[in-house]
Amino acid sequence: MKLFTVLVLALPSLILAKGHNSTSTTSQCKEIARLTSLMDLASNATKLASATHDNSTKASAIQAKASAAATTLATLQTNTTLTALCDVVFASEATKASCQTMAKLEKEAAKAANATASDKVKTKAAAQANELAALQGNATLTTFCAGLKTQETCQEMSQLQKTIARAANGTASSKNSTKTQLKADKAQAKLAEMQANATLLAACSELGVEGKNCPSSPFSLCTTPC
Ligand SMILES: *[C@@H]1O[C@H](CO)[C@@H](O)[C@H](O)[C@H]1NC(C)=O
Ligand SMILES: *[C@@H]1O[C@H](CO)[C@@H](O)[C@H](O)[C@H]1NC(C)=O
Ligand SMILES: *[C@@H]1O[C@H](CO)[C@@H](O)[C@H](O)[C@H]1NC(C)=O
Ligand SMILES: *[C@@H]1O[C@H](CO)[C@@H](O)[C@H](O)[C@H]1NC(C)=O
Ligand SMILES: *[C@@H]1O[C@H](CO)[C@@H](O)[C@H](O)[C@H]1NC(C)=O
Ligand SMILES: *[C@@H]1O[C@H](CO)[C@@H](O)[C@H](O)[C@H]1NC(C)=O
Ligand SMILES: *[C@@H]1O[C@H](CO)[C@@H](O)[C@H](O)[C@H]1NC(C)=O
Ligand SMILES: *[C@@H]1O[C@H](CO)[C@@H](O)[C@H](O)[C@H]1NC(C)=O
Ligand SMILES: *[C@@H]1O[C@H](CO)[C@@H](O)[C@H](O)[C@H]1NC(C)=O
Looking at the CA of 197, which ligand is closest?
Answer: 9
Tell me the angle at which helices 80-112 and 119-136 cross, rounded to the nearest 10 degrees.
Answer: 140
| 17 CA from centroid of ligand 1 (Å) | 14
Three-class secondary structure of residue 108 per DSSP: helix
CA distance 113 to 123: 11
Tell me the average pLDDT across 74-101. Answer: 91
| 183 CA from centroid of ligand 8 (Å) | 12
Q: In this predicted model, what pLDDT tens digit does every residue of 44-76 receive, in sequence order?
A: 999 999 999 999 999 999 999 999 999 999 999
- Domain residue ranges in the chain: 2-88, 91-140, 142-213
Provide the pLDDT for residue 71. Answer: 94
Which of the two residues, 13 and 29, has the higher pLDDT score?
29
Provide the pLDDT for residue 113. Answer: 96
Provide the pLDDT for residue 9. Answer: 36
Provide the pLDDT for residue 14. Answer: 46
25 lines ligand 4 (CB under 6 A): yes
Q: Within its chain, how far is the Cα of 45 from the centroid?
A: 30
CA atoms within 13 A on the CB side of 222: 16
Q: Which stretches of 60-185 are assigned E, i.e. beta strand?
A: none
Provide the pLDDT for residue 224. Answer: 38
| 184 CA from centroid of ligand 9 (Å) | 23
Least confident window among 31-35, 58-62, 118-122, 199-203: 199-203
| Residue 24, number of CB atoms within 10 A of its CB | 9
pTM over 0.75: no
Tell me the average pLDDT across 39-46. Answer: 95
Inform me whether the pLDDT recorded for 222 exceeds 70: no
CA distance 71 to 115: 59
Ligand 7 pocket, residues with Cβ under 6 angstroms: 169, 171-172
Atom of ligand 8 nearest to the CA of 177: 1
Q: In this predicted model, what pLDDT tens digit does every residue of 139-181 receive, in sequence order?
A: 999 988 988 888 888 889 989 998 998 888 876 556 788 888 8
Provide the pLDDT for residue 88. Answer: 83
Band of residue 210 on the pLDDT scale cut at 50, 70, 90: low
Tell me the average pLDDT across 123-128. Answer: 97
Inform me whether the pLDDT recorded for 15 exceeds 70: no
